[in-house]
Amino acid sequence: MELNEIFILREIQPDDKDMIFRWRNLPEVAEYMYTDHEISYQEHEQWFDSIQIDTTKKYWIINFNSEDVGVVNLYSIDYHNKRCYWAFYLASSNIRGKGVGSFVEYYVLKYVFEELKFNKLCCEVIEFNKEVINMHKSFGFGEEGCFKEHILRKRQYLNIICLAILASGWKAQKTLIEEKIEEKLGKLI
């Protein structure tokens, strides 16, 4: 079985708006977002409409075993400096721990460095999300800094860990990453 037989990223469609609205307000998703309020439908509609026309962002639905399970995006896409940021979330709790996050990370790295031909991919993670920070590091990302008390959630300031990988790091790690992906895929079959 090939990875693209069980895992795909598809572009967000207008019909996805309500599903994404539900996902964004799930407690297990909202816990890791920068905002801590329940997102209103009007607020969601404005956001959804804006991402359809913003050329500095790209959004995909994560589909695993023919089920839509989350969202991945690139943002702050800078074609001049050949860099961007990325983020994702899994809305379906029954697929956590099955390697889906790793599959997403692999595809994003491959897309950014091999299709876009960018030089740098960055991400920001709330400091308490150690699992995702460690996953990024296992794919060759390095810590580039910490934004101290950068966001206010539930009346508490939180630190944000800044991570990045360069195209040269991807090139050096690609074979090892692909071996890791094949191993995870083998465990699913």
pLDDT at 189 over 60: no
What architecture does CATH give domain 3-188? 3-Layer(aba) Sandwich (3.40)
* pLDDT for the residue 3: 62
Q: Residue 97 has what pLDDT?
A: 77
Look at 32-41, 49-58, 113-122 and tell me which has the smallest mean pLDDT.
32-41
- What's the token pair of residue 106? 């692999």
Burial class (CB in 10 A: 0-12, 13-18, 19+), 174: middle
3-state secondary structure of 180: helix
Query: What residue segments make up the domains of the chain, in order of their start?
Result: 3-188
Q: Residue 36's pLDDT is what?
A: 81
Taking alpha carbons only, the member of 81, 61, 55 closest to residue 73 is 61
Which is more confident, 171 or 97? 171
Out of 4-8, 74-78, 156-160, 169-173, pick the least confident: 4-8
**Phi, psi at 142, each rounded to 5°:** -120, 150
Edge-to-edge strand list for the sheet holding 83-90: 7-11, 58-64, 67-78, 83-90, 120-126, 156-166, 142-153
Tell me the pLDDT band of 114, cut-offs 50, 70 and 90.
very high
Provide mean pLDDT across the span 100-122: 96
